[in-house]
Amino acid sequence: MFQYMQNCPIYFGAGAIDHLGEYVSELGSKKAFCVFDPGVEAAGVPARAVASLEKAGIQCVCFNKIMSDPTINVVDEAGEIALREKVDVIIGIGGGSSMDAAKAISILMSYPGPISKYVLAKPISVDTKVPVVAVPTTSGTGSEATRVAIITQTETNGKWSVFVNTNLAVVDPELTFKLPKHVTAFTGMDALSHAAECVTSNVTNPHNQLFGCAAIRKIIDNIYTAWAEPDNVEARTEMSLAANWAGIAFAETMCHVGHALADGLSIAFHTPHGYNCAMALPVALEYAAPAVPKEIKMVAEAMRIPLKGDETAEEVGHLCADTLWALMRKLEIKSLKEMGYSREEVLQIAHEGSTSHLSTYCPVPVTLEAAQAMAGRMYDMYQ
- Residue range 207-250, pLDDT digits in tens: 999 999 999 999 999 999 999 999 999 999 999 999 999 999 99
- Give the Cα separation of 124 and 144 in Å (integer): 19
pLDDT grade, residue 69 (50/70/90)? confident
**pLDDT attached to residue 4:** 75
**pLDDT attached to residue 249:** 94
**pLDDT attached to residue 236:** 97
Q: Is the pLDDT of residue 266 over 80?
A: yes
Task: Report CA Rg, the chain.
Answer: 20
Q: Is the pLDDT of residue 157 over 80?
A: no
Mean pLDDT over 71-82 rounds to: 96
Mean pLDDT over 120-124 rounds to: 89
pLDDT grade, residue 68 (50/70/90)? confident
| ∠ CA 263-67-33, rounded to 5° | 120
Mean pLDDT over 75-79 rounds to: 97
Mean pLDDT over 176-181 rounds to: 92
Decide: 279 and 382 in contact? Cβ < 8 Å: yes
Q: Are strands 132-136 and 89-94 parallel, antiparallel or unpaired?
A: parallel
**pLDDT attached to residue 237:** 97
Q: Which of 211, 141, 202, 208 has its CA nearest to residue 359?
A: 202
Torsion angle (degrees, nearest 10) of CA 1, 299, 322, 185: -100
**pLDDT attached to residue 209:** 97
Q: Are strands 31-35 and 89-94 parallel, antiparallel or unpaired?
A: parallel
**pLDDT attached to residue 6:** 80
**pLDDT attached to residue 72:** 95
H helix intervals, the chain: 20-25, 38-42, 45-55, 72-85, 96-110, 181-199, 206-228, 233-251, 257-269, 273-288, 293-302, 313-330, 343-347, 350-355, 368-381
The average confidence (pLDDT) of the chain is 95
Q: What residue ranges of the chain are covered by domains with CATH 3.40.50.1970?
A: 10-175
Beta bridge partners of 168: 133
pLDDT grade, residue 165 (50/70/90)? confident
Look up the CATH number of domain 10-175. Answer: 3.40.50.1970
Q: Is the pLDDT of residue 156 over 80?
A: no
Level-2 CATH architecture, domain 179-381: Up-down Bundle (1.20)
Q: Is the pLDDT of residue 1 over 80?
A: no
H helix intervals, 8-95: 20-25, 38-42, 45-55, 72-85
The pTM for the full model equals 0.93
Decide: 289 and 200 in contact? Cβ < 8 Å: yes
Q: Which of 167, 156, 68 has its CA nearest to residue 116?
A: 156
**pLDDT attached to residue 33:** 98
Q: Is the pLDDT of residue 149 over 80?
A: yes
Q: Is the pLDDT of residue 144 over 90?
A: yes
- Three-class secondary structure of residue 258 per DSSP: helix
Q: Are strands 10-12 and 168-171 parallel, antiparallel or unpaired?
A: parallel
Decide: 103 and 149 in contact? Cβ < 8 Å: yes
- Give the Cα separation of 155 and 294 in Å (integer): 42
Q: Which of 232, 216, 220 has its CA nearest to residue 179?
A: 232
What is the DSSP annotation of 117-129? GT-BSS--EE---
Q: Is the pLDDT of residue 288 over 90?
A: yes
**pLDDT attached to residue 105:** 97
Orientation of helix 273-288 relative to helix 313-330, angle to 10° = 160
pLDDT grade, residue 281 (50/70/90)? very high
- Give the Cα separation of 56 and 154 in Å (integer): 38
**pLDDT attached to residue 155:** 78
**pLDDT attached to residue 159:** 82
- Three-class secondary structure of residue 93 per DSSP: strand
Q: What residue ranges of the chain are covered by domains with CATH 1.20.1090.10?
A: 179-381
Among the listed ranges 82-91, 160-169, 308-317, which one has the minimum average pLDDT value? 160-169
Among the listed ranges 113-122, 197-206, 330-339, 359-368, which one has the minimum average pLDDT value? 113-122
| ∠ CA 311-316-317, rounded to 5° | 150
Among the listed ranges 66-70, 133-137, 183-187, 349-353, which one has the minimum average pLDDT value? 66-70
Orientation of helix 273-288 relative to helix 368-381, angle to 10° = 110
- Give the Cα separation of 66 and 74 in Å (integer): 7
- Give the Cα separation of 127 and 131 in Å (integer): 11
149: enclosing H helix or E strand: strand 148-153
- Give the Cα separation of 293 and 273 in Å (integer): 28
Amino acid present at 221: D
**pLDDT attached to residue 207:** 94
